[in-house]
Amino acid sequence: MADGFKVLLVNPPFLPQHGRYSRYNRSPGITKSGTLYYPLWIAFAAGVLERAGFEVKLIDCPAQCIDLNGLLEIAEGFKPDLIVIETSTPSIYEDIDTAMAIKSRLGKVKICITGTHPSALPEETLSMAPDIDYIARREIDYTLLELAQKLSRDEDTSDILGISYRKDGEVINNPDRPYIENLDEMPFLAEVVKKHLRVEDYFFAAARYPEIMMITGRGCPHKCIFCLWPQTIHGRGYRLRSAQNVVKEFRYIRENLPQVKEVIIEDDTFTANMKRIRQICKLLIEDNNKLLWSANVRANLDYETMVLMKEAGCRLLIVGYETGDPETLKRMHKGITLEMSHNFARSAKRAGLLVHGCFMAGNPGEDRRTLSETLRLSKRLNPDTAQFFPVMAYPGTEAYKWAKERGFLLSDNYRDWVTEEGLHNCVIRTEHLTPDELVHFCDYARRDFYIRPYYLFKKAVQSIFKFEEMKRNIIAFKNIFRHLVMRG
């Protein structure tokens, strides 16, 4: 057991009085749909540390409804030597307060914080946190492993790649750790979930409940200016697990987590490598896979591959349509066209696949006309479910740099990235629109999309003929209903 060295990995509490804060969403917040993501990156790190013989405890406070006092009691009982705390931009001040409260209670314990925000702003983050010992930047699995190994042997930690720390009052940023190329050597997320978490504590509105997430590759080769994970954590390459390894995790889930109704493949763009997708699907079919799954995909996905995905168990495609204006698509570097979006929607319907469509407001050049085009597009494409979000410009992204350089970023207080209730807020303007106008549009578009006679009739028919879809529809509608009837 690595000389009895203990590591506590924590997704800390934030705004528990208002709901379950989803720190691992690409736009962290308390979602109107009730969606709560798994603590993906600290979960993988927990698996890596356990394989190396360390005693590990993984705590997800939002999912388990644990407040700060409860977390302090758990930490005192476990007596860790190293505590790793996940962060996000909207919660960064409270996350630091949590870290310092633990440090005050436990004394000599070493504390490392990680996540998108400190990866983008290590100097600023450490300046706010005098009691924090380390930041682990970007991809943390082997950075935390090396940190735990050296601390357990009382060795010098100053040369560990991927960490930031203070020395003589100055912040030292060691070089980034190279990205992990052989992802087949990573533990299955499902293994970590089975040991430390409960699938029933997590929810994804567009999926059948309960669902589990899976990562089959890290990074994304595309250049969207707003996307958080590729720009702050995993980079803009797409590193892949082998098709055989992916199918093996599907089999593990079927055999060890029989309550799971659906797998959400949470890669930034699962279909970035079409040849591999077809290989995975063929192997799932050969393995007689009956487990349903969904995936983040791109609007260039072809019909033939969709048919193969459907046969392999795919139920839902999650796609970023983003906007109905072709020039806005270019300015956000999306790399798709409106024609692609229309072809995608037609192909998915023909292949018998549901679609969750993602739409945005507030990209460069956005005005009232382009917003109207986006709403019009959402109705034409008519996905099974849709989301409308104002652009969330997070540190480390090109969208953040664009907004800040032009004076469009209207707050330096990271609490303003969410409302007092923890819902998504907007802190940027465009050349033509204010933050309030962008938020108001998203609220209006959401109501206008969902409360349509045609849409309600379609969902009623779906619920009558498909019992599992009826259950999903009821749960999702209960979560979002009050937000649909509220007037912005």
- For the chain, what is the domain count? 2
CB 41 within 8 A of CB 58: no
Residues spanned by the domain of 215: 188-485
In a domain, 341, yes or no: yes
Which residue, of 173, 197, 221, is where some domain finishes?
173
Integer Cα distance of 293 and 9 in angstroms: 28
All residue ranges of the chain with pLDDT < 50 are 487-488
CATH code, domain carrying 396: 3.80.30.20
Integer Cα distance of 84 and 200 in angstroms: 24
In a domain, 181, yes or no: no
Query: How many whole angstroms from its chain centre is CA 357?
Result: 16
| Pair (41, 150) in one structural domain | yes
Q: What does the DSSP assignment read for 375-440?
A: HHHHHHH--SEEEEEE----TTSHHHHHHHHTT-B----GGGGB-TTS-B---B--SS--HHHHHH
| Pair (207, 160) in one structural domain | no
Report the chain's terminal Cα–Cα distance, integer Å: 55
| Pair (198, 139) in one structural domain | no
Q: What is the DSSP letter of 317?
A: E
| Pair (76, 212) in one structural domain | no
CA distances 131 to 8, 77, 112, 419, Å, are: 17, 21, 10, 28
pLDDT at 487: 44
In a domain, 180, yes or no: no
In a domain, 178, yes or no: no
Given strand 314-322, what is the order of strands in its sheet? 211-214, 262-265, 292-297, 314-322, 354-361, 385-390
| Pair (278, 342) in one structural domain | yes
| Pair (310, 219) in one structural domain | yes
| Pair (138, 247) in one structural domain | no
| Pair (361, 223) in one structural domain | yes
CA diameter of the chain: 68
| Pair (304, 392) in one structural domain | yes
In a domain, 59, yes or no: yes
- How is residue 371 written in tokens? 């917003």
Integer Cα distance of 372 and 124 in angstroms: 39
Taking CA 284 as the corner, what is the angle to CA 382 and CA 316, rounded to the nearest 5 degrees?
10
Q: Is 394 exposed, middle or buried (0-12, 13-18, 19+ CB in 10 A)?
A: buried
| Pair (223, 78) in one structural domain | no
In a domain, 294, yes or no: yes
Integer Cα distance of 31 and 62 in angstroms: 13
- How is residue 184 written in tokens? 């087949």
CATH code, domain carrying 49: 3.40.50.280
| Pair (167, 199) in one structural domain | no
Contacts of 408 (CB under 8 A, 6+ apart): 402, 428, 429, 430, 431
In a domain, 334, yes or no: yes
Integer Cα distance of 293 and 446 in angstroms: 25
Taking CA 364 as the corner, what is the angle to CA 382 and CA 411, rounded to the nearest 5 degrees?
110
In a domain, 233, yes or no: yes
| Pair (338, 465) in one structural domain | yes
